[in-house]
């Protein structure tokens, strides 16, 4: 298998871990426990990693892309800590969910290390110049990356957010 195939397989496993995490949230009744505060942190985390994935699809490897990636991964880790602090004491976080979080927390760091190692030469060659890929990857590549993320993570995220929003509205109204 090629490096791209392995990367895609790792990406899918990461997305499956995200989907499993949303199932854990649902089982622990997140909308009525840690609620909207935790769900909004999930939106932030998804936005950070979504930005990272889109950046790697659209830009050529460069030092600015690696720096942006490092910043997004760091902020994602900090948001993950805030997420856990928000859930702590408000809803049960099972050992299974904790192990899933280990995958979700470690995968971006591992991907960053692999990208820096694998693309470091190309990044150094471009220096501090940001360049868009020309041509952009074909439509099938965008679909292969974005469709699984939409189905496995975005749909559950939006369902969780909507449920947390409804639960908050019910508490406020009655």
- Residue of 150 and 116 predicted with greater confidence: 150
Mean pLDDT across 46-74: 96
Q: Is pLDDT of 144 > 70?
A: yes
Burial class (CB in 10 A: 0-12, 13-18, 19+), 15: buried
Pull the structure tokens for residue 31.
């909308």
pLDDT score at 13: 97
User: For the whole model, what pTM was predicted?
Assistant: 0.94
In degrees and rounded to multiples of 5, residue 132 shows phi and psi of -75, 150
When the pLDDT of each residue in the chain is averaged and rounded to a whole number, the result is: 94
Cβ distance 168 to 36 under 8 Å? Answer: yes
Give the residue extent of every domain in the chain: 33-164
Residue 132 bridge partners (DSSP): 59
pLDDT score at 120: 76
Q: Is pLDDT of 174 > 70?
A: no
Q: Is pLDDT of 1 > 80?
A: no
């Amino acid at each position: 298998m090629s490096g791209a195939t392995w990367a895609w397989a790792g990406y899918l496993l990461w997305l499956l871990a995200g989907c499993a995490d949303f199932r854990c949230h649902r089982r622990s009744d997140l909308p009525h426990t840690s609620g909207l505060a935790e769900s909004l942190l999930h939106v932030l985390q998804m936005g950070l990693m979504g930005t990272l994935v889109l950046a790697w699809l659209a830009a050529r490897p460069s030092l600015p892309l690696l720096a942006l990636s490092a910043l997004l991964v760091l902020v994602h880790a900090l948001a993950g800590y805030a997420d856990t602090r928000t859930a702590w004491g408000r809803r049960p976080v099972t050992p299974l969910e904790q192990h899933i979080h280990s995958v979700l927390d470690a995968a971006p760091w591992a991907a960053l290390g692999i990208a820096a190692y694998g693309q470091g030469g190309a990044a150094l060659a471009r220096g501090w110049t940001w360049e868009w890929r020309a041509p952009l990857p074909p439509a099938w590549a965008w679909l292969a990356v974005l469709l699984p993320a939409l189905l496995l993570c975005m749909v559950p995220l939006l369902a969780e957010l909507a449920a947390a929003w409804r639960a908050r509205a019910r508490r406020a109204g009655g």
